[in-house]
Amino acid sequence: MTALDSPRPAPHAPVIPPGFERVSTDPAAVRAAFGRFPSGIAALCAVVSGSPAGIVASSFSVGVSFDPPLVLFSVQNSSTTWPVLRRAQRIGVSVLGRGHAAACRQLASRRGDRFAGLDTHVVDSGALFLGGSALWLECEVMSETPAGDHRIVLLEVTSLKVEPEMEPLVYHAAEFRELATAV
């Protein structure tokens, strides 16, 4: 029998280190704690069956792999937009730029036309991008993995456009923020 074949130890109550507290069963408390980690915000959009569809994600991450270029994000299982968006041939990922806070709120809204008045650009594949973004990535869905109350979606990047002068919008502690000038 190898170490890989040996049975897992019986589960036991975790020891909470001094100064720590047990993780809350309240999702809002967990969300607030996780909100201490600053992140960029991505709009994932496409035209599907002739209509624009999109979601925003602060759970977006780049650099999963460089060869092939892979990125990922997580989406709530309860999302009603993701089942529509995932049918797109390609998805446009716009890493939102400074000044996009109102656009982000609009895209995240559950009411009205999410795209009304936004500066959008659609490419031949149907991927939809927002003007004024720091980065555009045209992507294909590679895989989805269940993860608790979310799904982790892995995307392969097929093309990109970088706007080096545009600083990204940052989400931290449930607020939008902009980067300070580098020193």
Strand partners, 98: none
Which pLDDT score, from 0 to 100, does residue 5 have? 61
List the structure tokens of 160: 């990109």
Residue 68 lies in a domain: yes
Range of the domain at 54: 40-173
Estimate to the nearest angstrom the gap between the alpha carbon of 177 and the chain centroid. Answer: 17
Q: 75-88 burial, b if ≥16 CB within 10 A, otherwise e?
A: beeeeebbebbbeb
The type of residue at 174 is A
Query: Are residues 74 and 123 in contact, defined by beta-carbon separation less than 8 angstroms?
Result: no
Residue 32 lies in a domain: no
Residue 26 lies in a domain: no
Which pLDDT score, from 0 to 100, does residue 8 have? 62
Q: What's the number of domains the chain is made of?
A: 1
Residue 159 lies in a domain: yes
Residue 69 lies in a domain: yes
Residue 4 lies in a domain: no
Residues 6+ apart with CB under 8 A from 86: 141, 144, 153
Which positions of the chain have pLDDT values less than 70? 1-11
Q: 164: domain CATH number? A: 2.30.110.10
Edge-first strand order for the sheet with 39-40 is 39-40, 169-172, 175-178
Which pLDDT score, from 0 to 100, does residue 111 have? 85
Residue 78 lies in a domain: yes
* DSSP class per residue in 126-149: -BEEETT-SEEEEEEEEEEEEETT
Q: What is the pLDDT of residues 3-32, one digit of tens each?
A: 556 566 666 777 888 888 888 888 888 888
Residue 15 lies in a domain: no
Which pLDDT score, from 0 to 100, does residue 155 have? 97
